[in-house]
Amino acid sequence: MSDRLRIAIQKSGRLTEQSLELLRRCGLDFARSKDALFCFGRNMPVDLLLVRDDDIPGLLAEGICDVGMVGDNVVTEKLGPTSGTTAIGRIRGLGYGHCRLSIALPSSVPYRSPADLNGMTLATSYPKLLQRFLDENALNTRVIFLSGSVEIAPRLGTADGICDLVSSGATLAANQLREVYTLLESEAALYQRDLAQSPKIQAILDRVLQRLDSVLKVDASKYVMLHAPVDKLAAISDILPAAESPTIMPLSGTKDRVAMHTLCRENVLWEHLEQLKAIGASAILVLPVEKMLA
């Protein structure tokens, strides 16, 4: 058994760039081999396997890799819910690859509740997750498996509706489909196999996780600068997500308004900025944080 940590990531697809970038930001440097299926870690005992995302749960289950960066949707479809029931555990959400697995019907088809799916045929690439939902709701709905282009099945007359991944919703809209029920929310996540018998590999993983946690924490943090009415400072702090105690500075030419700087430990959204503006904040700047040693 080698004493190197093996990480599987998607070889080529939606998750590839961000997975590689995240590992790079954790300080991992890989030499790409010619076939690019295996990359040797140059500065830590960590190697990369580049594979199809669908293969990652199986590679973890077989112990061929130790951790995998893969969508929750893929792992849940292949292995079922991982909590406690399998040796594969979800250890971190990675903050990219967000999507949801949803049932969608042609816009013209009425829908009030899952019972309306009775007697229909649904096309999907996620037959296990869909069948589990149908069974839980005691629905008599036919499932047909399609490995791709699921969204055109209703137009071709192959199915009444679909169950597929959605992110922006543009694909559904382009096919006159309407999302009616979400089965699963998903993001790219780090999964690990049971390493109880491999303490050396677990120790390498712990080092990588420590770095990963700093990177993820910095990503979620924002530095906010704004001008605020003096009597609204408390209300502004309440709006800012996970804000630390702010720095308050005078503004020349006015006693009623001050400059406020604060670190927010969670992402600051447009909704927050709109609320801040509504209670009198102005000149609002949200800056990314590069590194943080707290």
Name the site residues for ligand PRT (rule: CB under 6 A). Answer: 10, 13-15, 52-54, 71, 73-74, 97, 99, 164-171, 186
99 binds, among Zn ion, ligand PRT, none (CB under 5 to 8 A by kind): ligand PRT
Q: 47, 53, 55, 164: which one contacts Zn ion (CB under 5 A)?
A: 53
Q: Minimal CA–CA distance to 232: which of 221, 248, 210?
A: 248
Q: Is 146 in the site for Zn ion (CB under 5 A)?
A: no
- Residue 252, helix vs strand vs coil: coil
168 binds, among ligand PRT, Zn ion, none (CB under 5 to 8 A by kind): ligand PRT
Q: How far is the CB of 246 from ligand PRT (least distance, A)?
A: 36
Cα distances (angstroms) measured from residue 98 to each of 42, 130, 277: 31, 19, 29
Question: Is the CB of residue 120 less than 8 Å from the CB of residue 161?
Answer: yes
H helices present in 80-191, as ranges: 127-136, 153-156, 170-174
- Residue 248, helix vs strand vs coil: strand
Q: Which is nearer to Zn ion, 53 or 72 (CB)?
A: 53
- Residue 106, helix vs strand vs coil: strand
Select from 51-59, 139-147, 209-217, 249-257 the region that touches Zn ion (CB under 5 A).
51-59
Q: Is 55 in the site for Zn ion (CB under 5 A)?
A: no
Q: Which is nearer to Zn ion, 54 or 187 (CB)?
A: 54
Q: How far is the CB of 74 from ligand PRT (least distance, A)?
A: 5
247 binds, among ligand PRT, Zn ion, none (CB under 5 to 8 A by kind): none
Cα distance between residue 90 and residue 76, in whole Å: 11
Q: Which is nearer to ligand PRT, 107 or 118 (CB)?
A: 107
Question: Is the CB of residue 44 less than 8 Å from the CB of residue 28?
Answer: yes
Q: Which residues pair with 250 in a beta bridge?
A: 258
Q: Which is nearer to Zn ion, 54 or 219 (CB)?
A: 54
Q: How far is the CB of 18 from ligand PRT (least distance, A)?
A: 10
Q: How far is the CB of 13 from Zn ion (least distance, A)?
A: 7
Question: Is the CB of residue 66 less than 8 Å from the CB of residue 192?
Answer: yes
254 binds, among ligand PRT, Zn ion, none (CB under 5 to 8 A by kind): none
User: How many other C-beta atoms are found inside a 10 Å radius of the C-beta of residue 102?
Assistant: 21
Q: Is 54 in the site for Zn ion (CB under 5 A)?
A: yes
171 binds, among Zn ion, ligand PRT, none (CB under 5 to 8 A by kind): ligand PRT
Question: Is the CB of residue 21 less than 8 Å from the CB of residue 9?
Answer: no
E strand map for 43-97: 46-51, 67-71, 89-93
Q: Which is nearer to ligand PRT, 15 or 122 (CB)?
A: 15
Give residues in contact with Zn ion (CB under 5 A): 53-54
